[in-house]
Amino acid sequence: MIRKQDALDYHSQGRRGKIEVVSTKPCATQRDLSLAYTPGVADPCREIAANPEDGYKYTAKGNLVAVVSNGTAVLGLGDIGALAGKPVMEGKGVLFKRFADIDVFDIELDTKDPEEIIRIVKALEPTFGGINLEDIKAPECFAIEEKLKAIMNIPVFHDDQHGTAIISGAGLLNALEVVGKKMKDVKVVFSGAGAAGIACAKFYLTLGIKKENLLLVDTKGVVYKGRKEGMNPYKETFAVETKARTLADAIKGADVFAGVSVKDLLTQEMVKSMAPNPIIFAMANPDPEITFEDAFSARPDVLMATGRSDYPNQVNNVLGFPFIFRGALDVRATAINDEMKLAAARALADLAKEDVPDSVIKAYGGNPIKFGREYIIPKPFDPRVLLWVAPAVARAAIETGVARSVIKDMDAYRDSLESRFGRSKEIMRVVIHKAQRSKKRIVFPEGIEAKILRASQIILDEGIATPVLLGNQNAIREKIKMLDLDLGDVEIIDPAVSPKFDEYMGLFYDMRKRKGISRADAQTMMRRPIYYGMTMVRTGDADGIVAGLTQHYPDTMRPALQVIQPLSGITTVAGMYMLFFKNDVRFIADATVNFDPTAEDIANIAILASEKVRGFDIEPRIAMLSFSNFGSTRHPRSDKMAKAAEMVKQRAPDIIVDGEMMADTAVVPEILNSLYPFSTLKGDANVLLCPNLESANIATKLLTRLGGAETIGPILLGMNKPVYLLIPGNEVADIVNVTAMAARDAQEPAKDMTGSPSTPAEKLSTVYE
């Protein structure tokens, strides 16, 4: 429950309001100032004057939307005026930015004259890439939007009309599928004939509802042929020959109720009079036409949606407008037409049938979310909505001829959408594309785990790898069925009954018989999926392994060192984390294996890390971290890091590395360039080598928790075959990402790094991740 004071504090504390303008270009020097304003700004001005389309190239126009309102129909508050509506318009800007990375100026117009609104908005066309009309009362809103669409060459979209129509339309598509009814056969009753009601009714006709099967009800009753009271041309469109005069009359035998009116309008008796398996969209805000509890108390076969987040199937406009504008802006559309709206609704409907990511499940309480009566519309915080709706809208704009810029590669466009919200999505797309070139066999010892199975479905669907699941076949098949996954052809191996068991057991016994392992021990250990999976990779029966979701880190690491073993010539293995920030990525090592590595160990880890980082198409810049800058404080610990840097330079002169240096020197170029111009590390470091495990581990955890970094890892460095370790708490998306890394690594043979003996497994750190 949101308290009044909480809402007031949210808007008033700190910087007032909810939005600010942030520069996208530096303005820290005189040169920056000369480029941002006079005299440098004159050059793009001349280019735009010569070619107006260059306005999209040299200004923010292509990513800027105006949210325009006169405050005459604000939420459930009514006509409260332009200024009082400003918090809502600022909030709309927040949603545009949060969900689609679209910038917004909110514009509140102190006028109720439709012609004046049209004139002002038309005059704003050079500034914006699109216009979002908001909270303008009906019927004026219809005429305003129609006229602006006719005279402007940028998209104009009244969200109060079309947002509700599109989202509820997506819900209707899926609701009818769930109850087994067809669009052309159902009878629909609308309650409410304002902006949302009229637009929803129009959109439902576009979806396939027959006009003769649709009744519109307003405060005066049913809209019927010949009615005079309270009519206007927009209602007249839906007037039909009928004897029904009240909502109670109209709803008898109806299959669908769509309400955008007032609370408590729909009674239990009315619900009982509807057809079997009735669909009720009670979308009045903040309180629906009938509560969820009352509807189900009236009859248990109801399928219901509301505008509320505390009930299933929330019809929330935030599922529409950010993503629709994203797709429209990215093709420089001149309009948002019906085909684009239909594409958005169908994309949302299709997405609701997909497996729901763990991050979404956690955001909504942790209970399973699955397509059906209580999940027909995606959740607002599902990050995939952007990737489904925006491309669908952009494609429809191109196909219908309203796009001025054509996207030729939709897969690349989807990748660019992901990258808007951080480097992690951008980099992982690169890895996934590489993995898809040659699907490798990746074995999962924890094949019975739901997260592994759900990840396997994505891995198969996207062609990332060929998963091999270990465990009891019957139990895994039953789990697949319970999760409603399509993994019919996936390979499942039960180690205890596998034809390869004796061969693998014998191999393991020969490897470990002089290290305290008896034949009986080898048999027992090989029955464990973790040892069987490692041996599959050792023998080449699998190309890589992903394991550790349900085990302590050392319990996964130890079998890897015992069976697969490090690369030839590696003196130690190490664990590296990738830390993603919005516009940057860093790597930190060694955070999981070596307590107090020597200078030689650190040099080896740096070389291994550089190879791994290059696999992400990133050129490594390595800093050896300490409490000293280039000898400023002499101590054996700082000397160790300086020595490690020199060893890397000697052994791998192509690697950019320097140190020892403090952490801020490593990541702030101004410090390095001004105080230490002699350093071979130009710019900031992206690979940070720490002097010991505790400093690396602490830095990683602090950056994750306090710095807001998204973390992937640990990534194991120095193994002979791809071994990727999970940790308890990893989500399905994490498993998919590390599987892509393992598959990508398997495409390239491991490098031989001769010169030093390998670390025995007995020296494994017992750090628990």
Which residues are known to be catalytic? 37, 92
Half-sphere exposure of 28 (CA within 13 A, CB side): 4
Rounded CA separation 630/628 (Å)? 6
Check if the beta carbon of residue 282 is closer than 8 Å to that of residue 289. yes
Amino acid present at 10: Y
Select from 599, 595, 541 the least CA-distant residue to 721: 541
Percentages of the chain per state (helix, strand, coil), in multiples of 5: 45, 15, 40
3-state secondary structure of 339: helix
Rounded CA separation 711/702 (Å)? 11
DSSP string spanning 589-642?
Answer: E-SSS-SS--HHHHHHHHHHHHHHHHTTT---EEEEE-SSSTTSS--HHHHHHH
Across 188-212, b (16+ Cβ under 10 Å) vs e yields: bbbbbbbbbbbbbbbbbbebebeee
Check if the beta carbon of residue 567 is closer than 8 Å to that of residue 718. yes
Check if the beta carbon of residue 180 is closer than 8 Å to that of residue 174. no
Select from 414, 411, 428, 412 the least CA-distant residue to 464: 428
The first and second tokens of residue 513, run together, are 């018989």
3-state secondary structure of 676: coil
Check if the beta carbon of residue 115 is closer than 8 Å to that of residue 144. no
Check if the beta carbon of residue 630 is closer than 8 Å to that of residue 637. no
Select from 428, 440, 430, 445 the least CA-distant residue to 546: 445
Classify residue 26 as exposed, middle or buried by CB count within 10 Å of its CB (0-12, 13-18, 19+). exposed
Torsion angle of the four alpha carbons 567, 569, 573, 579, in this order, in degrees rounded to the nearest 10: -80
> What is the largest distance, in Å, between two alpha-carbon atoms of the chain?
98
Select from 545, 570, 549 the least CA-distant residue to 559: 545
3-state secondary structure of 230: coil
Strands (DSSP E) found in 512-594 = 544-547, 574-581, 584-589
Classify residue 289 as exposed, middle or buried by CB count within 10 Å of its CB (0-12, 13-18, 19+). buried
The first and second tokens of residue 243, run together, are 């004897």
Rounded CA separation 645/633 (Å)? 16
User: Residue 313: left (phi > 0), alpha (psi -120 to 50), or beta?
Assistant: left
